[in-house]
Amino acid sequence: MNQGDVVLRAVDVSKTYGVTRALKGVNFEVRAGKVTVLFGENGAGKSTLMKILSGVEQPSGGHLVLHGRPVEIRTTNDAVDLGIAIIHQELNLAPNLSVRDNVFIGRELLTRAGTVDRRCEDEITAELMARLEEDIHPSTPVGDLRLGQQQLVEIARALAADARILIMDEPTSALSHSEVQVLFKVVADLTTHGVAIVYISHHLEEAIEIADHAVVFRDGELVAQRDAEGLDMDWVVRSMVGRAAEYDFRDEQREHGDVALSIQDVRVVDTSAGGRLAVDGVSIDVRAGEVVCLYGLMGAGRTELMEALSGRDQVASGRVLLHGVDLKGRSIGERIERGIGLVPEDRQRDGLVQLMSVGANLSLASLLGSIKRLLVSKKAETASIEREIEDVKVKTAGPGAPITSLSGGNQQKVVIGKMLLTDPTVLLLDEPTRGIDVGAKGEIFSLLFREARRGLAVLYVTSEVGEALTASHRIVVMAKGKVVAELDPRTTTRQEIMSASEGTVEASGSTTSSPDSSPIGATS
Amino acid sequence: MTETSARAQPTARTRKPVNLNALLVEGRALVALVVIIAVFAVLSDNYLRPENLIIMTRHVAMNAILAIGMLLVILNGGIDLSVGSTVGLTGVIAGYLLKGYEMPFTALIAYPPVWVVIIVSLAIGSLVGLINGLLVSRLKIAPFIATLGMLYVARGIALLITDGETFTRLSGDPQLGNTGFLTVLASQPLGIPFPIWVMVVFALAFSLVLTRTAFGRWLYATGGNSRAAELSGVPVKKVQTWVYVASGFCAGAVGLLLTADLPAATPQGGSLSELNAIAAVVIGGAALSGGRGTVRGTIIGAFVIGFLVDGLVIIGVSTFWQQVIKGAVIIIAVGIDQVQQMLTARSAIKKAQVKTPLKTPEAVGAGA
Amino acid sequence: MTETSARAQPTARTRKPVNLNALLVEGRALVALVVIIAVFAVLSDNYLRPENLIIMTRHVAMNAILAIGMLLVILNGGIDLSVGSTVGLTGVIAGYLLKGYEMPFTALIAYPPVWVVIIVSLAIGSLVGLINGLLVSRLKIAPFIATLGMLYVARGIALLITDGETFTRLSGDPQLGNTGFLTVLASQPLGIPFPIWVMVVFALAFSLVLTRTAFGRWLYATGGNSRAAELSGVPVKKVQTWVYVASGFCAGAVGLLLTADLPAATPQGGSLSELNAIAAVVIGGAALSGGRGTVRGTIIGAFVIGFLVDGLVIIGVSTFWQQVIKGAVIIIAVGIDQVQQMLTARSAIKKAQVKTPLKTPEAVGAGA
Amino acid sequence: GSSSSDAGSGSSSDGGEGGAGGGTISIISVDQSNPYWKAEVATAESEAKKLGYKTTAADHKNDPSTQNELIDTAISKKVAAIILDPAGADESVGAVKKATDAGIPVLLVNAEISEQGIAKSQIVSNNAQGATVGAQEWVKSVGDAGGEYVELLGAPTDNNATVRSDGYGQIISQFPNLVMVQQETANWDRAEGKSKMETMLSAHPDIIGVVAGNDEMALGAIQALKDAGKLEQVKVLGFDGNQDAVDAVSDGEMVATVLQPIVEGTTEAVKQADEFLKTGKTGASSEKQAIDCVLITQDNAASLDNFVLSE
Ligand SMILES: Nc1ncnc2c1ncn2[C@@H]1O[C@H](COP(=O)(O)OP(=O)(O)OP(=O)(O)O)[C@@H](O)[C@H]1O
Ligand SMILES: Nc1ncnc2c1ncn2[C@@H]1O[C@H](COP(=O)(O)OP(=O)(O)OP(=O)(O)O)[C@@H](O)[C@H]1O
Ligand SMILES: [Mg+2]
Ligand SMILES: [Mg+2]
């Protein structure tokens, strides 16, 4: 078919999860040989639509049209048969299997004998790796790979399906700038062969860079779209954020108390990945009332650092001082008692006890506070729970409601509330806004800054430059386990932050840089 | 206005399932129990006679006490295959102490008083549990394997202690001041056999622990999501260790009761009882993956098994059929559970899909 | 050019870790085996005599075959407690057919030829497995419970078929054309007992399945990350069902071999053998959580247990000590594994510590 | 003389295991955690030592395949002789044959196998006769009044359970006024015997007697009856002659038990083994030698000590 023909169309598609309406009647088109880019805040419904297009989820309403004919895509296999492949936002790899196995899983190449044709698969895998300019042996266990490399394997798997329609849901979230450029070469090559690409990324610049056609989602609706010419950051951000509460805390109260948390030349070993140094000599000071943002790409070692501070991982060398007291050898519980707690990166995996009610989750960390005569005093507990629900504005049927009945944003508020109930003096948050929607995001930041005004020291991880710029007093950029820059959000630029996060030399350590006219830098 | 809608509306949806689920899961065990009782009541006039109910309940009690300990382990996401052997070991220890043991390096024979015997036996049981707990929580050995190994070790030690003998003559001797073991443990306060009282006490005590203490909350949390619990400052390793200690303690208690019941301390005591205990816990609605389960349900589960097995004997079903039926009931009792849950899940999704024009909490949040 | 570099050059770097991990895990089982052999070789001159090695290997074979089937289930993250009973059931079925059975509604007695007997027995074994598989994959009943129930049911049926009797006279009768059961299954081709050949064949066949077929890859994938597998279009439920069928099939084979070995079909055959099979798999380096494990390791694990047990008998250790030692070895063999992993982690951290700080905190502080 | 020496060399050829009298005697019993078989093993061991043999003892727990493995290991150990308490009459034929073919004399004690001419001798306690005398005594004690009784059976797969049950049946069936209302398996086990008895009591409150396949089950039943306060009305019969049971008999709690002459039989078996190793003959008239069981009642209970009846 010709370039630009509409190959796949979603007609009035809607999707509901429980009460969450992820998609509200969306009409969406995919064009042959073109790159259609989806913009949208977390939770806007992008992935949900992609899951529907690739047969992972079934729409609650509306239908799909492929090459002009209505289709039902019930399973991922249906999708592959129809020539639709997807790179999922979250990695879907079996860590115990080799790269080759993961690339061909479910689509094995068989010999005449009916056994798996390893040699042939190896060759193809090697070619794909060469095409992605990654030098990974096909028989390397995926578990041994860096996050970025794992994501490349995910990409390779999609390429191996050589589909006519290729969906990429945040394929670059863990890739370095150079790796991204390689991917773009591949994409360009695919489009010239008439492959239709759907591309989703939170790295707006790169997305704009390859977009032929841009579509913006907000709260499950398609709110704007246009072609490449005249497509720029302003338009994207305006249509994305739209009426959602803009937040900017840059000029919040600047004079801070004395050092609350002092991280001194800390090293953390990732024992899972063969003794690799995940954090390599990091030193950061956080003062009372200060909100410090820790920016970096995935795999930069931020989570390891956070978990080491929280007491889960062991600090191999260096010191962590809380108000001047060394935390060495302190258990997580003792650290929480002393006033430092972590709001983990993965809410579902590390933050919530899904089988428990909202109340039980809230009080879990501060339970010992409401012990009367060996027993948990229901009265004291309920009181503090109700207070916290008010305080962090959790929208719930009540303390008894199952935690799973809450929206992502409210779940996140519960996790934060749980930590606030232990009245900490230092709060660590790893990706506190990941996967939560526009409204909740603003509320969470205003919550953090309110607590900061009350003297709380906040250190939080983010992968979104926008956040780093607008919601912090200071930006610390990490790359490859090292601190490569400390920047002032009032003077720095997106460009500077991002190039620093690549770990490239020129940016490292630089704090003084020419202030950029537009708060949102354009790509060079 | 939107606030209220956002607040009120979920109640209808969420509140019910909470209580419902709990009720349903245990409810199913209860249904099974009622069915069993009904069936046997019809088939035999003696089944419902008070004396028989008491006897059957006493048989249930032993398994129920083991099951309560097992419940804690299972809530934690583990399993304890060694309880049967621990029953045998502690029973033998008790017998050994009661019949008097030669003190090392002396010609003397010590006859510890009964309360010492009881405490020592319970301590040994807890010790076995402690070892299990440390193997699992510190050495990270899979519970199945750690306790499987202990199953052999404990049984072997029990056999070594008795050298295969069975200790009888446990009534003690007034001169030696070690009487009372039987008069206490095999007594019938208010006409109710002692084991039943123990079951009741354990049930109350442990459900208090599970529902009202921090430890209980921690246990459910670690079972539900141990990583989250850990990051909330819960001492997950300690919790994991202690559940096995509790299980060992319960096994110790059963060892004593069994010995007093026979009255004889045999090293083979309690063989395979771990399987019945596990079955009771799971029939009672607990999830082997951890985090879900109650003492009440577990007790009901124990009654289901006990009343079934005894009922089959009473109506004189052949031993062979007894096994087939027992296995089938275990599968069915748990199977219904699953099927029901699937159905409810289905219907929930359906419900969610029909109600469209509702404002989502997000939207509300955004509006604010 | 890039081709070659992409394919050849990495080999040096990436190949190593693959084999290393595998080797380490299995290696530990191998170490255990070597130690055991060494110890017993010293304690008894007979231990290493060829005849004895052959005999011990034949004992190992039975457990190894069960363990191979169990491995598949465990790779899937499940467990199969019913294999022991299935061994008994299939053995009894074979005996029942060989001695001839009355055809329903007729006065005739049928004497199926041996190959039919074998096929039917294996089919029954697979059927039991199929039921387990469906209970687990469709009804979502926890494998432990589903197969626990089946443990009772299958054993009960075996007892019902024989009415507790034991079938002997399995040699068949030329007139009836059902001879050969023993002459085949109890034969010794090339002086090697038949069970050993079966073990070898099964080992080769199943490692082929695991390493070379799509099914094998799917199995590891479902065990490693079930959701990922499902999204990749792997028929997760089918895989889950089939592993239990495979396990049942292996149990059927063992049932036949055991019956031929005695020669007698006893309904108690195979009792508790599931525990040995599971132990073998885990000692062989498999993870009960699924996704990790190899046939080679499993076989080694089976040898560890078999050579240990027989060795203890040969040097005349008392029955009671045998149990203690067996349990301890299971725990230790698996424990080493864990300890080792912890130590490596430690040493990695140590390494990081010796690295002298490149820049002092002050320097950075100044930089900020 | 000469034959003894080559018997000696035959076994001492297996590195150093050969002892003074020549080699090791392997004792394969059922389950030493049961006093009865414990006595069996103890007797065999002491007797063999007396005659200058080394011994090894093992249990097959009534599992034929375990028995098979134990025989195998005994063979590869080249023991001088095997004293075996077989696991089932049919199941054990193969195992015994295997050992005999390997040139190791096998002497059976306590239980028999279903084929002759393989084992050197089968010194079995006459279970049928024992059951008969036991049953007769029991019938006497329940009196002519008659009534209902129940039976506790041993492990269903153990043919001693069947033999004894049949023996009981033969006698009791001659008294139409004695009605067996229920049979339950209690797997030779005391605890199971007790709980099964308790449950059967609820089903049949007015029974006048219990016949049990062995003493352990009988003792369990007695305890159940005590708890129910029915020991007076119910007469219990045991089998084996455990010390506990014998005491129960002298206390009048058990009507009678039947002493299996296990000590006598085992001693004889070891003697014959020694004889065979020395002369190539057991010296016994026939392979099958049934030693009659002795009825133990209140009269002779006192004179019995751990399976040995002092005349
Ligand atoms: N399986 C699910 N169950 C319940 N709610 C869900 C589920 N998946 C997504 N949601 C909700 O649907 C909404 C849209 O989610 P979706 O993942 O499509 O957003 P997104 O645009 O991909 O966000 P992101 O940019 O973070 O990937 C969110 O509110 C999310 O919480
Ligand atoms: N070079 C590497 N080799 C092996 N594993 C790596 C490497 N880099 C990162 N990883 C793994 O990838 C995961 C992501 O790393 P980590 O979470 O520490 O980075 P991050 O900065 O927190 O990124 P994010 O928080 O966005 O995931 C970690 O589990 C880490 O072990
Ligand atoms: Mg998404
Ligand atoms: Mg992270």
Say which range, B316-320, C177-181, D276-280, has the weakest mean pLDDT. Answer: C177-181
Task: Please give the order of strands across the beta sheet that includes A221-227.
Answer: A84-87, A165-169, A196-200, A35-40, A213-218, A221-227
Q: What is the pLDDT of residue C91?
A: 93
Q: Is the peptide bond before C267 cis (omega within 30 degrees of 0)?
A: no
In this prediction, residue D21 carries a pLDDT of: 53
Whether residue C310 and residue D73 make contact (CB cut-off 8 A), yes or no, is yes
Q: What's the Cα-to-Cα distance from B119 to each of A204, B64, B113, B173, B343, rounded to whole Å? A: 70, 21, 10, 19, 49
Check residue A500 and give its pLDDT: 82
Q: How far apart are CA C202 and CA C214, in angstroms?
A: 18
- Kindly give the pairing relationship between strand D121-125 and strand D288-291: parallel
Asked if residue A211 has its Cβ within 6 Å of ligand 2, the reply is no
Q: What integer pLDDT is reported at residue A469 of this predicted model?
A: 85
Residues A315-343 pLDDT 10s: 888 899 999 899 888 999 999 999 999 99
Higher pLDDT, C247 or C26: C247
In angstroms, what CA-CA distances link D198 with B58, B280, B310, D193, D228? 10, 22, 9, 9, 8
Q: Pick the ligand that lies closest to the CA of residue A57.
A: 1
pLDDT of residue D2: 37
Q: Give the range among A120-124, B41-45, C10-14, C110-114 with minimum mean pLDDT.
A: C10-14
B353 CB neighbours in chain A (<8 A) are 16, 60
To 5 degrees, how large is the angle CA A441–CA A445–CA A451?
145
How far B4 CA sits from the closest chain A CA (Å)? 10
Question: Model confidence at C220, in pLDDT bands (50, 70, 90)?
Answer: very high
Average pLDDT over residues A11-29: 86
Residue B157 CA to residue C320 CA, distance in Å, equals: 7
What length is written for chain B?
Answer: 368
pLDDT, one tens digit per residue, over D38-64 is: 888 999 999 999 998 988 888 888 888
- pLDDT for B25: 62
- In three-state secondary structure terms, A515 is coil
Q: Where are the alpha helices (DSSP H) in A311-427?
A: 332-338, 358-363, 378-391, 408-420
Q: Quote the pLDDT of residue C130.
A: 97
State how far the Cα of C256 lies from the Cα of C270, in Å rounded to an integer.
Answer: 11
- Which stretches of chain D are DSSP H helices? 2-12, 35-50, 64-76, 91-101, 127-142, 159-172, 190-203, 215-227, 243-250, 262-279, 298-301
What type of residue is B33?
A: L
Q: Is it the case that residue C183 has pLDDT exceeding 80? A: no
Contacts of B308 by beta carbon, 8 Å cutoff, 6+ apart: B36, B325, B326, B329
Query: What is the full DSSP assignment across B54-90?
Result: HHHHHHHHHHHHHHHHHHHHHHTT---TTHHHHHHHH
Neighbours of A41 (CB within 10 A): 24
Q: Which of A284, A291, A285, A293 is nearest to A258 (CA)?
A: A285
Percentage of chain B beyond pLDDT 70 is: 84
* Contact by Cβ (8 Å): D137, D294: no
From residue B57, give the alpha-carbon distance in Å to each of A48, B26, B166, D192: 55, 19, 26, 16
**How open is the CA angle C238-C241-C246, to the nearest 5 degrees?**
120
Contacts of B216 (CB under 8 A, 6+ apart): B209, B210
Rounded Cα gap, residues C120 and C112, in angstroms: 10
CB burial of A255-269 (b: ≥16 within 10 Å; e: otherwise) equals ebeebbbbbbbbbbb
In three-state secondary structure terms, D299 is: helix
Its sign, for the CA torsion A171, A172, A175, A178, is positive
Q: What is the pLDDT of residues A151-164, one digit of tens each?
A: 889 889 988 988 89
CA-nearest residue for atom 1, ligand 1, is A17
Which carries the bigger pLDDT value, residue C119 or residue A204? C119
Q: Are strands D257-259 and D81-84 parallel, antiparallel or unpaired?
A: unpaired
Model-level pTM? 0.86
**Which of residues A276 and A1 earns the better pLDDT score?**
A276
Rounded average pLDDT over B313-321? 88
Looking at this predicted complex, what is its ipTM? 0.85
Cα separation, B245 vs B123, in Å, equals: 10
Contact C46, C54 (CB under 8 A): no
Neighbouring CB atoms inside 10 A of C312's CB total: 23
**Closest in C164, C263, C319 to D157, CB measured:** C164
DSSP A107: S
* Cα maximum dimension of chain C: 102
Does A241 contact ligand 2 (Cβ within 6 A)?
A: no
A501 Cβ below 6 A of ligand 2 = no
Measure in Å the smallest separation between the Cα of D65 and chain C Cα atoms: 7
pLDDT tens track for A457-496: 999 998 878 788 888 899 999 988 889 989 988 888 877 8
Ligand 2 pocket check for A9: Cβ under 6 Å: no
Tokens 């319960």 appear where?
B250
| Six-digit token string for A422 | 């232990």
CA separation for the pair D95, D65 (Å, rounded): 9
Which residues does residue C102 pair with via DSSP β-bridges, in sequence order?
C109
A461 CA: nearest ligand 2 atom: 25
* For residue A258, pLDDT beyond 70: yes
Residue A404's pLDDT band (cuts 50, 70, 90)? confident
Q: How far apart are CA B353 and CA B351, in angstroms?
A: 5
Question: Where does the pLDDT of residue A368 fall: very low under 50, low under 70, confident under 90, or very high at 90 and above?
Answer: confident
pLDDT of A195 above 80: yes
Touching subunits of A (3+ CB pairs, under 8 Å) are: B, C
The answer to whether C112 and B288 have CB atoms below 8 angstroms apart is no
Long-range contacts of A28-31 (CB under 8 A, 24+ apart): A28/A215, A28/A222, A30/A6, A30/A165, A30/A196, A30/A198, A31/A3, A31/A4, A31/A5, A31/A6, A31/A7, A31/A196, A31/A212, A31/A213
Question: What would the two tokens of residue A39 be?
Answer: 């913009």
The yes-or-no verdict on residue C5 having pLDDT over 70 is no
The answer to whether C255 touches C270, Cβ cutoff 8 Å, is: yes
pLDDT at A1: 55
Between the CA of D130 and the centroid of ligand 2 the distance, in Å, is 78
**Alpha carbon of residue A261 to chain centroid:** 25
* Distance of alpha carbon A209 from alpha carbon D130, whole angstroms: 99
Give the model's confidence band at A426: pLDDT under 50 very low, under 70 low, under 90 confident, else very high: very high
Choose among C139, C145, C282: nearest Cβ to B330. Answer: C145
Q: Map residue B93 onto helix, strand or coil.
A: helix
Q: Say if residue C263 is preceded by a cis peptide, omega within 30 of 0.
A: yes
Contact C97, C116 (CB under 8 A): yes
HSE (CB half, 13 Å, CA atoms) of C206? 30
Cβ A323 under 6 angstroms from ligand 2: no
Of B14, B220, B362, the CB nearest to A440: B362
As beta bridge partners, residue A98 has A141
Kindly give, in sequence order, each residue whose CB lies less than 8 Å from that of residue C308, ignoring residues fewer than 6 positions away: C36, C325, C326, C329
Higher per-residue pLDDT: C2 or D41: D41
What is d(CA B7, CA A486) in angstroms, rounded to the nearest whole number? 43
Question: In angstroms, rounded to a whole number, what is the distance separating the alpha carbons of residues D77 and A304?
Answer: 59
Task: Determine the pLDDT at residue A438.
Answer: 57
Q: What confidence category does residue A511 fall into, taking pLDDT thresholds of 50, 70 and 90?
A: very low
Residue C1 has pLDDT above 60, yes or no: no
Run of H or E residues at C230: helix C226-231
Span C124-135, pLDDT tens digits: 999 999 999 999
- The 3 state secondary structure assigned to D166-183 is HHHHHHHCCCCCEEEEEE
Ligand 4 centre distance from Cα of residue A304 (Å): 7
- Among A134-148, C249-263, D176-190, the least confident range: A134-148
Report phi then psi at B82, rounded to 5: -95, 0
pLDDT of residue B351: 55
Q: Residues with Cβ < 8 Å from A233, sequence gap 6 or more? A: A204, A205, A208, A518, A520, A521, A522
B145/C338 touch (CB, cutoff 8 Å), yes or no: no
Residue C148: both structure tokens together: 């626990």
Residue A107 has pLDDT above 80, yes or no: yes
- Answer whether residue B146 shows pLDDT above 80: yes
Q: Which of A16, A37, A47 to mutate to test the pocket of ligand 1 (most atoms within 8 A of CB)?
A: A47
DSSP class of A141: B
Under-70 pLDDT residues of chain D = 1-21, 309-311
pLDDT at B358: 37
Distance (angstroms) between ligand 2 centre and the Cα of A301 equals: 5
**Of ligand 2's atoms, which has the minimum distance to the CA of residue A279?**
18
Residues D256-287 pLDDT 10s: 999 988 888 899 999 999 999 888 888 878 88
pLDDT confidence of B113, banded at 50, 70, 90? confident
Quote the mean pLDDT of chain B: 84
List the beta bridge partners of residue A296: A478
* Cα Rg of chain D, angstroms: 21
Of A110, A123, A277, the CB nearest to C352: A277
Residue B257 region, left (φ>0) first, then alpha (ψ -120 to 50), else beta?
alpha
